[in-house]
Structure 1
Amino acid sequence: MAIGNCNICSDGKREMTINEFKRWLKKLDADKDGRISREELADAVRVTGGWFARLKAKRGVRSVDSNGNGYIDESEFKNLVEFAEKHLGVRIFQL
């Protein structure tokens, strides 16, 4: 479940557009419920080579999940972009 066709910058971060990031997130949504769970986010941390995946995912869901339901949904997408840039080694930009 690698991050698709994205460029790698000199600082080691992968660059992708918002649309590429959304497509990648759909691949992470293992149960296809339209939300990202803590386990699915931990898989994303692992895939991108991050350490302490479960801990980062727990903190990530806690910081991104603005409505407190334990999942990251479409309304919390902006928060997830910030988390991904900080913890998943990606840089997301708009065209």
Structure 2
Amino acid sequence: MAIKTRNISVDGKREMSLDEFKRWLKKFDTNQDGQISREELRDAIRFAGGWFASLKSKRGVRSVDANGNGSIDENEIKDLAEFAEKHLNVRILHLWGEGL
């Protein structure tokens, strides 16, 4: 269940579309509530080989959880994608019809 991407760029970042990022995250929604909890995000970061997964997941949820419910929902995924680009060695490809 590694992050499957089309390409790894020269700088080592995994490249994927926003839809691919959403599908990948959905695999970690263990309770299938349609939201990504801090623990689920931690598991995703660990699975992808990320270091300091607990710290990054806490920081990620805190920085993108606009409604303050402690989880990341569909409306906050784009913000999580931006966080992933800055902090998780991911590049989200902006495809036609997929704006961030």
Q: TM-score, normalised by structure 1?
A: 0.92
Report if aligned partners of 2:5, 2:15 keep a CA contact under 8 Å in 1: no
Unaligned runs of 5+ residues in structure 1 are none
Note the C-alpha offset of 1:84.
1.1
1:1-95 matched pairs, under 5 angstroms? 1-95=1-95
Q: Which has the higher helix share?
A: 1
Coordinate RMSD, CA, aligned: 1.1
Q: Deviations over 1:11-36 (max 9, x none)?
A: 01010111111111111211111000
Describe the SS at the equivalent of 1:49. coil
Q: Deviations over 1:32-89 (max 9, x none)?
A: 1100000011112112221111111111111110110000001111210111112221
Report if aligned partners of 2:29, 2:36 keep a CA contact under 8 Å in 1: yes
Structure 1 segments of 4+ aligned residues over 3 angstroms from their partners = none
Identity among equivalent pairs (%): 71
Report if aligned partners of 2:38, 2:70 keep a CA contact under 8 Å in 1: yes
Partner residue of 2:98? none
Q: State the AA in 2 paired with 1:19.
A: D
Describe the SS at the equivalent of 1:10. coil
State how far apart, in whole Å, the 2-side matches of 1:6 and 1:38 are. Answer: 27
Unaligned runs of 5+ residues in structure 2 are 96-100
State how far apart, in whole Å, the 2-side matches of 1:57 and 1:41 are. Answer: 6
Describe the SS at the equivalent of 1:28. coil
Describe the SS at the equivalent of 1:82. helix
Q: State the AA in 2 paired with 1:49.
A: G
State how far apart, in whole Å, the 2-side matches of 1:77 and 1:59 are. Answer: 15
